Structure 1
């Protein structure tokens, strides 16, 4: 007899006594009960079920005797195997069965008129609670001991499925027999070696154990056979996570054992409450005062290790049972005074049956068949008639807790208890948390770590149970070949990415406006960057633009002042003025590229630059063609004399400039440039820039300007040796070589730079090419006009001509 489970019987008796004394429940009806022991044996279970359903002495199924007991419902059993065997028999007669043990649902349970009810939550809730508990403490490398039966196999499969979803791994999964048979010694040796071996892995600090009431005893025996001094080996002590079916119960010679090895264990328990009057009821249990209890004598002798006087038999060496011993003096492994979760479930099961009967009694359900004027006739009641009322039962028990079924399972949660052991072989259970499946998502688990007492070797700190140390922020997990996914290495994040938490599977990029810090575990805001007037580079370029603009104005002033001199008149005065004005605007338009990009500046930048440069190059082309035509017109009988004059030059200037104007207007009308931010080019800067809108149109503007430049270079190159004192083709050739060289090198340089330096490259190209044109075309003339005025005479020019 397992003395600890005697409380289950007392809880049933206590509940029935309360109901029989309560006039509000089943008036004029007295509930009775029969209690049977399964002896953990399947054949005895079938035997006792037949005895319960039919006769004390003669067992003939389906044959009723006058002494038949009126069985309305059956409560039991504790284990899944016994409960399923009971169900096999009770299902034939549709007798309600209320199981108070926690185990997995079977597919065959849910029939149209089921006889099976669970007084505890489904085991799936317990599995989810275990996963949440492991995640709360960060335990991802755990061991599992499970009883070797169908229930244990179902539990392992369900748990492994949840583990794979939540990133938890099983270091091992070991099966334990429900009880050890010493006749198969080779098998015992195999189990002992395997069980003891699992404790050698120092990385596994938390073990899950799933089984029944005798599983702890089995594990004790296997550990004892593996190493008789295992209790003294502190390195073997772990954190045990136990399911609701596991209990700490000892009997017989096991009474000398203690549970120091399981000190600090966390185990799930059916939720229970203190019931008023239950402790008083327990204190009244005495062998001489309690009548009709066939288990009390055996319980008392085993619990207190004594014997009652038997005048007809020999006296043994045990102490004499006086009957005055107190139950609260017994250690926890033998008997517990506080109501356990299983006893609480039995108490609720009795009340559930009583309330279902009471509802049937007060309802209109076939009253004529069940009742007469004196009350309820139990003899006329069939057990299957109780099912509709039992499924809809709803009441508050004496502790104020609501009791009802949902899909024939009790709507409740699990308490999380902490086992605190003492040297005198006693222990206490301390409630440290709760699992409630009806709570909002993420709040199902409530745990109070401050109340948990850990094993002494953990120094009162929650241990770490992982396959390897965490990957710090700045690193990512790297899978190790041939090992489970919980065992991994760490690798630095790729350049430009970060991980800001431990154990990241993948690194991530910072937002566009941020960049990774040095350790790659956080992001830093980027700095806004643009080519401003205040910076050294911006100041230098703007100063150069202004300086060249002033020089251009001076040159224009010189030409206007000396407009009547031969050297000014010789090369189309209007074209020269237009060229100088366009160069002035070329220098000034570079200032549009400086400063913070706005809508107006972005709209004007590229189109203004392209058009003004096209005008300047068109002027150069017009001057060059004018020189060529003028030379050819001097030949006798030339038919092109009519083209000599301002009309040809103006036509070239207008037509070439008009083409660029059309390209620019199409660009601005379809996809104009606009202010934008470049987050990608520079790792630590946000570049404020002008988005070109249409890149194709931008390169069309540059391409057309390059086309004009090449044509001008070719014409000037062939005209450079014409015999004319006023021939400036050689200077134009040199200027166009500079111009083309600048813009040919501009394209790769522009594409190879990023950020504000792209703008600087374009401004530099504008200033350099414009300065080249100004210097090569006008500086020689300014030299003669200002420094050598004696050469600026018609006679001198004609005399020097070949």
Structure 2
């Protein structure tokens, strides 16, 4: 770096010479525009002079760059009349050597590039490489000083996406951020939410673990996170093995290279850890671990792999490589000697005591990673890198003066192009390469996130194959980046099915997740939703309450309409109550018919037949009004049921009250000449009944006008049902209706009780007392029963109270009379009644002063003066009472 800074300070006319000549191995071809490349081809020992091992895949990548440039030069539509050249160096997988190579590519060496000065364009306009992230970071910082584009084919560190720090860096391999996204999508695809993750103890591993943890937290939970040591640290390896064995997670992701994983794999084999699904990062998914002896433990591994493509004619190009004794192409000599384990006389230090190379050896006779073009992955990225630079140069060459992107609309000179000008066009590259794949860079210089998804499988004769089972492509317009052929996957489990890797099983719809204290959120219990609440999706975190008119089904996964409940005529209870009401009406009408038929008999006449008719009609209405309480409530029935109930019962009790008053007035008028009874005759009695009933009617009218009863849905008493009922509207109005009935009933009961000892032949007071006791008892018992009854039974209790009180009144008042009329007709005459009065007089049980009643048909006979009698008009006849 200091070398170039000092060079920049020199006069423009001065020649910049490199201070030291580096002995680098490389490939060279002259062209109008030169591209540089750095590849890992040789592994050097320490010290490097002792031995080296050649990486055939690295040499294949370098030759792929040469092939891509040769193909572009033969393409008349891309960079016409321009020949691209290249200078490629081997970095020996050592950063210092890579930096030396970059220095030579930027500045050149006198023995190759002559008369170069700092004022001229550098020997190359762009660089393809390096393979590793760490050397790429170092080299990119140097190239950024000159604005020189650098296109890496294998550097995946997300840190290189920082355009402030690495403004001239591009890559055709996706960033590890995309790899993490692809892994998370795979995990989501198979429904795994409980996984372990292991990373190497370097920048690659630490960065990948952090990125994965951040992205995966929205998908699932990490059972454990471990770091693989770079050395065979037994203590650390044992700790990782312990985490794997103790964890219930069946899926384990590893971000590391093969040589780091080998230490862990040895212990896995030693302890025979099986039943795990391994997920491999691109660093080892295609590595040396995919061997037959490891398949029992690692078989079925799913991995992320760099996109593979078949490059036509590349294999022929690779097989046509021949030794070239030009010093600029000395890397071919190294390759040839290693491939055929021979030596050229000029390189006596290489492969001592081995056979002599002739240069005519046949590469087709060997099977190595160099000649294998079935898995072109990193080589394909090199191919795309070269084409990206070529398209940038082509766009630069096609610029029209005056419309250019530079100062005053100028364009770059293709024969004296500057790296920073190429950098400008590189940012806009977007094309379809000869293999049909789009190549473009985002704002961070990253390539499109495209990966192959591979699976380790065993084919015939036990050979291991890495099969492509899917693709992850973030450029897909549909938004579904991951595509996997599930049927093509080999699962290394006895069931041969997708393994489950979850801390807790998914909560079914109808339940919710309840976190376990002190455990990750993926570990939870499934709690059924409460009544009236549902969950409709798996793993719901909460249950949702159904709307007011809906209720949860038994499975708690759907809101269903609440059952409408009301007392209908089709219910068995409704039928029973309807039958009782009909029976009561029939009995009331029958008794009325009996009274009308026997209206001239003594019993009917003696019991104020007109009020008895009114009473029987009102009782029939009481039975009838109970039917309004059965059936679905409506605006009409809600108004009718309470109004009819109130008016009917007031009419009934009014008749009983007037009958009681008549008896009291008749039998308490004991003084001779007392005319009190004449002021309470038939007209006054009807008027009194009408008055009492009118008051109730007025209350009902006001109630209906101000706040009438309306149909309502009661969802409070029974949550799973909607009880259709009548809301009373005005509580005051409803209370006044009931209060008025209760008031009249109490008055009637008190008066009847006070007159209970009158002579029994004509005295209804004791029967009225008994009927009022029944009435009050029924309605007092009704209150707690009404409050405690659920749903439609509330209405049933109310109907039962109406029927019970109506039957009580009907039975208590009219049963004795009907008994005499129908079963004892011989007692239904004046003589029998008078005889009973005499018996009462002798016994002194009731009124000793009263002796006998005489029925008079003509009012004139009442004018006869009797000093010990009183004459008054009853309902249908005149009575003289002797005492």
Shorter chain as denominator, the TM-score bin is: 0.7 to 0.9
Question: SS of 1:236's equivalent?
Answer: coil
Asked if the contact 2:512–2:528 (Cα under 8 Å) also holds between the matched residues in 1, the reply is yes
How far has the Cα of 1:98 moved from its partner?
A: 2.5
* 2:198 corresponds to: 145
Of residues 153, 161, 180, the one that matches 1:127 is 180
- Compute the RMSD of aligned alpha carbons: 4.4
From the superposition, tell whether residues 574 and 292 of structure 1 become closer, same or farther in structure 2 (CA, over 3 Å).
Answer: farther
How far has the Cα of 1:144 moved from its partner?
A: 0.5
Asked if the contact 2:397–2:413 (Cα under 8 Å) also holds between the matched residues in 1, the reply is no
Alignment of 1:191-270 (within 5 A): 191-201=236-246, 203-211=248-256, 215-224=257-266, 226=267, 229=270, 233=272, 235-236=273-274, 238-250=276-288, 261-270=297-306
Counterparts of 1:156 and 1:720, CA distance in 2? 102
Counterparts of 1:122 and 1:315, CA distance in 2? 40
- Are 2:470 and 1:433 equivalent residues in the alignment? yes
Comparing 304-313 with 4-13, which one deviates more in the overlay? Answer: 304-313
How far has the Cα of 1:573 moved from its partner?
A: 4.3
- Are 2:341 and 1:306 equivalent residues in the alignment? yes
Q: How many residues align?
A: 772
Of residues 400, 417, 428, the one that matches 2:436 is 400
Counterparts of 1:80 and 1:87, CA distance in 2? 10
Deviation string, structure 1 residues 701-755 (Cα, Å, up to 9, x no partner): 7743663365346534653436465443332232222222222222332333334
Asked if the contact 1:113–1:387 (Cα under 8 Å) also holds between the matched residues in 2, the reply is no
Deviation string, structure 1 residues 397-446 (Cα, Å, up to 9, x no partner): 11222222332333343321212357999643322122333557873332
From the superposition, tell whether residues 426 and 48 of structure 1 become closer, same or farther in structure 2 (CA, over 3 Å).
Answer: farther
- Are 2:776 and 1:740 equivalent residues in the alignment? yes
Return the TM-score normalized by structure 1. 0.82
- Are 2:644 and 1:608 equivalent residues in the alignment? yes
Question: SS of 2:195's equivalent?
Answer: strand
* 1:347 corresponds to: 383
- Ranges in structure 1 where 5+ consecutive residues have no aligned partner: 183-187
Counterparts of 1:781 and 1:425, CA distance in 2? 111
Counterparts of 2:65 and 2:373, CA distance in 1? 15
Between 1 and 2, higher relative CO (CA 8 Å, sep ≥ 6) is seen in 1
From the superposition, tell whether residues 540 and 152 of structure 1 become closer, same or farther in structure 2 (CA, over 3 Å).
Answer: same
Alignment of 1:40-439 (within 5 A): 40-56=93-109, 64=117, 69-101=122-154, 103=156, 105-106=158-159, 109-111=162-164, 114-166=167-219, 168-177=220-229, 180-181=230-231, 188-201=233-246, 203-211=248-256, 215-224=257-266, 226=267, 229=270, 233=272, 235-236=273-274, 238-250=276-288, 261-287=297-323, 293-299=329-335, 306-308=341-343, 310=345, 312=348, 323-326=361-364, 329-330=367-368, 336-364=372-400, 377-378=413-414, 380-407=416-443, 408-420=445-457, 427-439=464-476
From the superposition, tell whether residues 113 and 142 of structure 1 become closer, same or farther in structure 2 (CA, over 3 Å).
Answer: closer
Deviation string, structure 1 residues 331-358 (Cα, Å, up to 9, x no partner): 6xx8752353433232222212211211
* 1:185 corresponds to: none
Counterparts of 1:701 and 1:443, CA distance in 2? 72
Asked if the contact 2:343–2:350 (Cα under 8 Å) also holds between the matched residues in 1, the reply is no
Asked if the contact 2:565–2:792 (Cα under 8 Å) also holds between the matched residues in 1, the reply is yes
From the superposition, tell whether residues 426 and 588 of structure 1 become closer, same or farther in structure 2 (CA, over 3 Å).
Answer: same
Asked if the contact 2:173–2:306 (Cα under 8 Å) also holds between the matched residues in 1, the reply is yes
Deviation string, structure 1 residues 598-631 (Cα, Å, up to 9, x no partner): 6654553344334433433343344445555666
How far has the Cα of 1:227 moved from its partner?
A: 6.3
- Ranges in structure 2 where 5+ consecutive residues have no aligned partner: 1-41, 43-54, 841-845, 848-883
Of residues 64, 67, 70, the one that matches 1:17 is 70
Of residues 698, 708, 730, the one that matches 2:766 is 730
Asked if the contact 1:621–1:712 (Cα under 8 Å) also holds between the matched residues in 2, the reply is yes
Deviation string, structure 1 residues 153-179 (Cα, Å, up to 9, x no partner): 44333332333322x2211111235xx
Deviation string, structure 1 residues 456-487 (Cα, Å, up to 9, x no partner): x4443222222355667776655433322333
- Are 2:578 and 1:542 equivalent residues in the alignment? yes
Comparing 415-424 with 338-347, which one deviates more in the overlay? Answer: 415-424
Question: SS of 1:138's equivalent?
Answer: coil
Comparing 355-364 with 590-599, which one deviates more in the overlay? Answer: 590-599
Asked if the contact 2:144–2:166 (Cα under 8 Å) also holds between the matched residues in 1, the reply is no
From the superposition, tell whether residues 580 and 56 of structure 1 become closer, same or farther in structure 2 (CA, over 3 Å).
Answer: farther
From the superposition, tell whether residues 448 and 553 of structure 1 become closer, same or farther in structure 2 (CA, over 3 Å).
Answer: same
* 1:708 corresponds to: 743
* 1:443 corresponds to: 480
Deviation string, structure 1 residues 26-48 (Cα, Å, up to 9, x no partner): 12222223334445544444433
Counterparts of 1:444 and 1:666, CA distance in 2? 74
From the superposition, tell whether residues 731 and 461 of structure 1 become closer, same or farther in structure 2 (CA, over 3 Å).
Answer: same
* 2:60 corresponds to: 7
Alignment of 1:634-673 (within 5 A): 644-646=680-682, 649-650=685-686, 653-662=689-698, 664-665=700-701, 668=704
Question: SS of 2:84's equivalent?
Answer: coil
Question: SS of 2:87's equivalent?
Answer: coil
Counterparts of 1:643 and 1:632, CA distance in 2? 14
Asked if the contact 1:36–1:48 (Cα under 8 Å) also holds between the matched residues in 2, the reply is yes
Return the TM-score normalized by structure 2. 0.75
Question: SS of 2:241's equivalent?
Answer: helix
From the superposition, tell whether residues 555 and 160 of structure 1 become closer, same or farther in structure 2 (CA, over 3 Å).
Answer: same
Counterparts of 2:700 and 2:203, CA distance in 1? 82
How far has the Cα of 1:537 moved from its partner?
A: 3.0
Counterparts of 2:560 and 2:693, CA distance in 1? 49
Question: SS of 2:441's equivalent?
Answer: strand
